[in-house]
Chains A and B, each alone.
Chain A
């Protein structure tokens, strides 16, 4: 901590000297603890707030999955020992209750998709990296950025509180399809728990929109001199496109949630029609339950890419840096991300092949869905081509990035099966789907998240995380992920449906007791291995080795800041200008210019006469004339 304080003092001291240089200065001195760490408008602090909230949620969501995996893998086990945590969720016979099982499944999904992989991942790295990598002193609006985090915090508090109410949290699956979610008499989780879910998600959407608008504005308006769009690191491209997708799709989820709120509390019938429940016929008529699904998946599918694209962006950066090689096919990578972003809006109904919608519509959506495999494949090939002829350094971040590419492929190919509606007849809502999206979306994004933390930890906290613990963490997690999710394909092919409390009721699905036990065991080991990461993270914040300014010898602008960048990011407000793209690794003849195997983005071409290529010169002329 002493180290921290010293650096801050230094930075502040300098700022004081140059008091008139930039207008951010006056903030620095009078900052109280509250305005500096709590209601901070500094993008780096906000990023850390998102990170820590995200990690806390990740452990809660992960622990939930361990508990319901206990029920699935060891159905005869006495769960009495969980009573201190779960209380009455464990029934008199020492088993997890059936509704509580569904509550855990629902909350696990909601937490992981929205709170960990949307807010945690995007919130952390978009906030941290966008200003640092485009060369801006902060986000376009620090205030909106602060609001974004505190809306997320409020949403988190409401969702967390809903775990403790008597009727339990929302339990109708993370998609909360009405009528189940609309009718409190249908299940206890559809009572107050569902109201809180809707409140929390509405606030969450506001948080996400505030964040996204800020990210878009900052990328468009606040790039430093010379930072053209074609010189942006791929991380920024990924965050930028993610934010655009979010701004276009989250409002639709808000509309869906709002209509559901109306149906629940004001007697409207947007989603309800011809219902007889609890011994009475309801007055609701004329609504459509399928309408909700269309609205939900109009966000729900882009959401998959909101979660995945930042992870892919982070991976692009880490793989290039640690292969000591430019990313292969920079333009193709941008093109494929734009393609994925666009297509993600017109594939949503592949989640609904079996809802009874017109079979012709199903054909259209199958066609569009399988097209999206093409840009995804291009991305995977480009990652592999980046490794090819590289000189690879296996940092923990690099391991997780390579792991990401592997799970991205493994989970991606099963999407080709599920996207085909003829095959979806049998596989829809089975464990094949669970296996597919946990690998391609869950694990891949999680790997990207963790890779990002390992990679940018030195810039966030000024210290290094321990690499050896990182290696162990990676290998256990990598093996664990495959052990958990690969066998699920088998139970899925056999047709075992999702969200089943028990697999023993049907002769068709009850042959997998051993496999389920294996999956649960692997899940428990994988979950507890994350303790290594938690320990490494917390320990390194306080006791990690002091990081150099640029520990990975990377080219992007954030590594030109001080070890712990202060407010305004670059001392004296001297924001570097950019003269080249982000991937001048191992450039031929760079040694003659006095550089090693990388030339940072802010080095002018005039300093590197020997290594400049014709393309560099042409590009710079164009920039000058423009």
Chain B
């Protein structure tokens, strides 16, 4: 019943509005002269100043409130550099934004139609054109240079022997992490060895060296103050590793392993004190759309002091301790198994 009333009143209001509009336009026709430039021109000109100013004031008043929320604390070495550059760039563009918008709306207001004035025929000035080509070019050059330095320092991936190597793999819709174990070597893998039913989700090849002491973890533990070399891959569709507090992002691509090297600077505990949030946890998210539950690919990162990290590392059970049936299984045993099943198929067909 209510919906009928609501709908019919909406229709009525709409009809009344249309009628008013029709009357308004007919009156305008009766009044005769078709004036393009009347009072509305003055109103619009005034709005050209009033509205942008109001919006600016509103934005400025809201800013302190918003700024509290959007400042994510930084927990990595390069994060400080990128954030510094970010804010410098923001200040530069804020100045450009304010000057050009002010000029735009200022001119629109100031040079509104006046029957007693004639517009100037001034339409060309090569000097001015050159000046306002060079100014942005110089600003861009400075920003390119600054960006290049930060990018180079962040992405040069020093082949640091001291770096902690950890593998992270994305799948629909979870992250999984593998550590190299005591030997510091991640065992080889092959996607054909992946077997979710039996538990080899990484497709680790246990015929090859280095795999025997690998272990998986439920959370991404990393040590503070030492570079972490994150080896990134995906096994089904694109994903992207995103660790907002560490300013780390890198796509996970099936068939093309990627990596990102960064140095954490604050432990989870330190961050809990800093933010005053006892339940604070570093989070890892997916930023490349990967399907239905893309928004829910959350993984927890734990940053620890070196000692605690070593202790945790030593206490982990290796993959083979957990699933001894995989010992020695790899590509050649897969081949044997597949050949056997193929022969069996041929036989059954013959029978």
Contacts and interface: CB of A to CB of B under 8 A. Distances in A.
B119 to A, nearest CB: 4
A38 interface: no
B123 A325 contact: yes
A388 B291 contact: no
Contacts of A355: 251, 253, 258
Greatest chain B CB density within 10 A among A273, A330, A354 is at A354
B172 A426 contact: no
Interface string B268-306: 000000000001110101111111111110100000000
A471 B118 CA distance: 25
Contacts of B101: 406, 409-410
Contacts of B120: 325, 389-390, 586
Interface stretch (A153-161, A236-244, A461-469): A461-469
Interface in B222-273: 232, 235-238, 240, 242, 244-245, 247-251, 253-256, 258-259
B66 A172 contact: no
A478 B48 CA distance: 11
Interface string A168-186: 0000110001011001001
A148 B63 CA distance: 48
A392 B245 CA distance: 50
B72 A383 contact: no
Contacts of A430: 287
B256 A288 contact: yes
A552 B37 CA distance: 11
A420 B22 CA distance: 53
Interface stretch (A15-23, A26-34, A227-235, A486-494): A486-494
A142 interface: no
Greatest chain A CB density within 10 A among B55, B152, B237 is at B237
Interface string A528-571: 00000001000100010100100110000000000000000000
Interface residues of B, number: 119
Given A281-B192, A409-B100, A497 B285 contact: yes
A495 to B, nearest CB: 4
Contact of B254 (A274, A362, A548): A274
B144 A366 contact: yes
B51 A478 contact: yes
Given A180-B238, A366-B151, A393 B108 contact: no
B288 to A, nearest CB: 7
Contact of A177 (B119, B235, B288): B288
- Sorting the interface of chain A by its residue count into under 10, 10 to 19, 20 to 34 or 35 or more gives 35 or more
Nearest to B122: A389
B128 interface: yes
A319 B291 CA distance: 45
A422 to B, nearest CB: 4
B307 interface: no
A149 B118 CA distance: 44
Greatest chain A CB density within 10 A among B37, B55, B295 is at B295
Interface string A315-342: 0000000011111111110000000000
A179 B124 contact: no
A534 B81 CA distance: 49
Given A363-B152, A381-B132, A393 B89 contact: no
B312 interface: no
A281 B89 contact: no
B143 to A, nearest CB: 6
A603 interface: no
B336 interface: no
A384 B103 contact: yes
Interface of B: 18, 21-22, 24-25, 29, 34, 36-37, 40-41, 43-45, 47-48, 51-52, 55, 59, 66, 69-72, 79, 81-83, 85-86, 89-90, 92-93, 96-97, 100-101, 103-105, 107-108, 111-114, 117-125, 128-129, 132-133, 136-137, 140, 143-144, 147-148, 150-152, 154-157, 172, 191-192, 194, 196-197, 203, 232, 235-238, 240, 242, 244-245, 247-251, 253-256, 258-259, 279-281, 283, 285-296, 298
30 contacts: A179-B237, A274-B191, A275-B236, A276-B191, A277-B237, A326-B121, A328-B124, A366-B147, A378-B133, A381-B100, A393-B41, A406-B104, A409-B100, A416-B89, A422-B147, A422-B151, A423-B89, A426-B86, A467-B40, A471-B43, A495-B72, A505-B295, A505-B296, A506-B285, A535-B18, A543-B22, A545-B25, A552-B36, A588-B121, A597-B119
Given A426-B79, A482-B55, 10 more contacts: A275-B191, A281-B192, A328-B123, A354-B240, A394-B44, A422-B150, A423-B89, A429-B240, A429-B287, A468-B40
Nearest 7 interchain pairs by C-beta: A273-B255, A356-B258, A326-B123, A413-B93, A394-B44, A495-B244, A422-B150
